[in-house]
Structure 1
Amino acid sequence: MCQDVLDRARRGDEHAFRELTDPHRRELHLHCYRILGSLADAEDALQETLLAAWRGLDGFEGRASLRAWLYRIATHRCLNALRDAGRRRPPEPQPPFAPPEPTRRTDVTWLQPYPDHLLEQVADTEPGPEARYRSKEAVELAFVAGLQHLPPRQTAVLVLRDVLGFSTSEVASMLDTSTTAVKGTLQRARAQLRARPSPGSVVPPGSPGERDLTQRFAAAFTAGDVEGVVRLLTDDAWLTMPPAPHEYHGRAAIADLLTTFTAWRGRRHLRLVATRANTHPALACYLARPAEPTAHPAGLLVLRPDGDRIGAVTWFLGHGLTRWFGLPPTVP
């Protein structure tokens, strides 16, 4: 960090401030997403972080790096959001068909996917020696969803230590607590995360096997071939539907849901557009009525390959995801 740039930023030079903070912008956004699980909330937290940094730059004394200082601000903004009783929760969608009774219901309904093209814009910063997770592994949906079940402070400590590799003393300073408290919080967070089911063997991203599996799933799903889709699933596969709380476990339960959806879909045209989310293959859904020449967004399917099958399907409902993924608002 150049002292001259810092001095100019402190004097109110916005260009100098952007020169200081832009290299960290994408990684801070990803940090906020990991803690909050929501793209929209992460964007809000990032903007609040940059505003707080701009206003508080005179208070930056340089004892820690600028990057660590920004992470401190971002983490506190995320913790405030998680504590806020008025945190935005998307309303539970009302599907046009009556879905079968789910295997279970979840209270984590704000989870959203993270576009891979945004991941590619994150600077390849080498994590500290304390990191336990690879950067890509720590953005997979199973990991991010698991974080949402932890108490907010446990989530923050685990991400700062095990994902970003900040030292215990650095994390204690960021969170205004003791190293003993950080160690205890981290121990509890790791234990809770280990207690959650872990994904099976994942096919290498972008491999021929992954592409083939995705293409076969897309073909069967588009054709309304429920049996064909189910044959591609592992026996213990999960299908979840954020922001709806419904979760379906196993081939039979997923087949019931897909059968209901396919019957409702009838002669409506379905088109899938390939993309990627959270390092996994994804398919944007567009639906059109028989007489309509244009198909409109109908959610996003994120697939988690497990060996030569699919271990999890996350069907994100809602229509606000296309802009994040650079997808068209409609397709022919």
Structure 2
Amino acid sequence: MNETEFADLTELHRSELRVHCYRLLGSVDEAEDLVQETFLRGWRARDQYAGRASLRAWLYKIATNACLDFLGRTSHVVPFVDLPPASSSHLAPRPAAAVPWLQPCPDDLLDAVVARETVELAFLAAVQHLSPRQRAVLILRDVAGWTAKETATTLETTPASVNSSLQRARAELKEQLPSRRTEWRVESSGDERAVVSRYIAAITAGDDQAIAAVLRDDVRCSHQPGAGGHVGTTPTWYGGLATVLEGWAPVLRGPDSMELRMRFVRANGGPAVATYLRHDGAFHAFGLNTLLIVDGAVAEVTTFVPSVFEAFGLPAVLPD
């Protein structure tokens, strides 16, 4: 098999390998790099393949171990984030922004057959709290649907060890995910785009009444460090309609208010909005907001840093 033939065959699996690496790493940029590493490792080891297993399974094994090697070299540690008071903790799951390296993924980069709940930001953020090997076991067994034997072969361990790791991973994941499933997975509906349109119109107009009408009373808002104009090294996290309106006030109205433009995009199977602020005579990327819509209103807004715009094909500065 020459290099061109190898590239043609492996390229067919790029999309699903990217999603697999994304689940393990939580970063679109790192997933892209690890897919390239997978293909490079595959080319170097092509003589070991020899058709003894499916090409897909062989590439998954290489990709999984490449990600584990990467995680072994990095210090991805989720920082401690204060939880809300016990009386309200059941209403406020850990925000995706609590994982600093987590990036939203454009729907265009997701495989069409991907189950939405396995790429939701809340799920991916929860997975990042698992050890690297637990992540691999959970994703291969519960997401990819591999058997314990197949997973053990990939990870060069035993089925008994895989089953033990899976049990621990499931227990930890349950602790990290919101207790109510609807808090982290919401089915799309025909009204979703209409809600986003109302949200964009209300925000760009700086209309408090219209904003309040499109947000839930228990709305939550979180920012990655440096996102949406927030500074610091830890996520910013607040909730409740009055608190959110107060937090957004400096940008939306008053002497320091700024002109905004917003673009609708889709990320991780749900709606998102790219926000630009006008300064120095142009509209500059400000933050990408993923939206959780529940019962026709925005229940959660998570703001990511402008550097994620590139993956969505969005410019850093809007043309005039």
Same fold (TM over 0.5): yes
Number of equivalent positions: 293
Measured against aligned partners, the alpha-carbon deviations of 1:170-208 in whole angstroms (never above 9, x if no partner) come to 011111111111111111211222222145276543x33
Q: What is the aligned counterpart of 1:59 among 35, 48, 70?
A: 48
Aligned twin of 2:68: 79
Q: What is the aligned counterpart of 2:12 among 15, 23, 39?
A: 23
Q: What is the aligned counterpart of 1:111 among 102, 117, 129?
A: 102
Q: What is the aligned counterpart of 1:274 among 264, 274, 277?
A: 264
* CA distance, structure 1, for counterparts of residue 255 and residue 105 of structure 2: 28
Q: Which amino acid aligns with 2:199?
A: F
* CA distance, structure 2, for counterparts of residue 156 and residue 226 of structure 1: 45
1:274, 1:282 within 8 Å by CA — same for their partners in 2? yes
Match of 1:322, SS? helix
Aligned twin of 1:161: 141
Q: What is the aligned counterpart of 1:321 among 298, 302, 308?
A: 308
Aligned twin of 2:285: 297
- Are residues 41 and 241 of structure 1, via their aligned partners in 2, closer, same or farther at CA, if it must alter by over 3 Å? same
* CA distance, structure 2, for counterparts of residue 88 and residue 147 of structure 1: 12
Measured against aligned partners, the alpha-carbon deviations of 1:266-321 in whole angstroms (never above 9, x if no partner) come to 342100011110011111111113x71x2111111110111222222111123x22
Q: Which amino acid aligns with 1:298?
A: F
How large is the Cα RMSD of the aligned pairs?
2.6
Measured against aligned partners, the alpha-carbon deviations of 1:93-149 in whole angstroms (never above 9, x if no partner) come to xxxxxxxxxx98975111111001112xx364xxxxxxxxx6222111111111112
Match of 2:191, SS? helix
- Are residues 154 and 324 of structure 1, via their aligned partners in 2, closer, same or farther at CA, if it must alter by over 3 Å? same
Matched, 1:223 2:208: no
Q: Which amino acid aligns with 1:330?
A: V
2:250, 2:256 within 8 Å by CA — same for their partners in 1? no
- Are residues 192 and 215 of structure 1, via their aligned partners in 2, closer, same or farther at CA, if it must alter by over 3 Å? same
Matched, 1:190 2:170: yes
Q: Which amino acid aligns with 2:302?
A: T
Match of 1:266, SS? coil
* CA distance, structure 2, for counterparts of residue 203 and residue 104 of structure 1: 17
1:286, 1:297 within 8 Å by CA — same for their partners in 2? yes
* CA distance, structure 1, for counterparts of residue 215 and residue 168 of structure 2: 33
* CA distance, structure 2, for counterparts of residue 264 and residue 37 of structure 1: 37
Q: What is the aligned counterpart of 2:277 among 276, 287, 290?
A: 287
Aligned twin of 1:127: none
- Report how far residue 22 of structure 1 moved: 0.8
Q: Which amino acid aligns with 1:114?
A: C
Measured against aligned partners, the alpha-carbon deviations of 1:208-249 in whole angstroms (never above 9, x if no partner) come to 310111111111221223453344333443222124522223
Question: Normalization by structure 2: what TM-score?
Answer: 0.83
Match of 2:310, SS? coil
- Report how far residue 264 of structure 1 moved: 7.7
Match of 1:284, SS? strand
- Report how far residue 19 of structure 1 moved: 1.8
Q: What is the aligned counterpart of 2:298 among 275, 289, 310?
A: 310
* CA distance, structure 1, for counterparts of residue 143 and residue 123 of structure 2: 11
* CA distance, structure 1, for counterparts of residue 285 and residue 255 of structure 2: 14
* CA distance, structure 2, for counterparts of residue 87 and residue 162 of structure 1: 23
Q: Which amino acid aligns with 2:262?
A: L
Q: For 1:237-248, list aligned pairs within 5 A.
A: 237-244=219-226, 245-248=235-238
- Are residues 78 and 264 of structure 1, via their aligned partners in 2, closer, same or farther at CA, if it must alter by over 3 Å? farther
Q: Which amino acid aligns with 2:297?
A: R
* CA distance, structure 2, for counterparts of residue 220 and residue 199 of structure 1: 29
2:271, 2:292 within 8 Å by CA — same for their partners in 1? yes
* CA distance, structure 2, for counterparts of residue 39 and residue 235 of structure 1: 32
- Report how far residue 81 of structure 1 moved: 2.0
- Are residues 280 and 249 of structure 1, via their aligned partners in 2, closer, same or farther at CA, if it must alter by over 3 Å? same
Match of 2:63, SS? helix
Question: Normalization by structure 1: what TM-score?
Answer: 0.80
Structure having the higher helix fraction is 2
* CA distance, structure 2, for counterparts of residue 104 and residue 311 of structure 1: 14
Q: Which amino acid aligns with 1:232?
A: V
* CA distance, structure 1, for counterparts of residue 77 and residue 13 of structure 2: 26
- Report how far residue 16 of structure 1 moved: 0.5
- Are residues 218 and 123 of structure 1, via their aligned partners in 2, closer, same or farther at CA, if it must alter by over 3 Å? closer
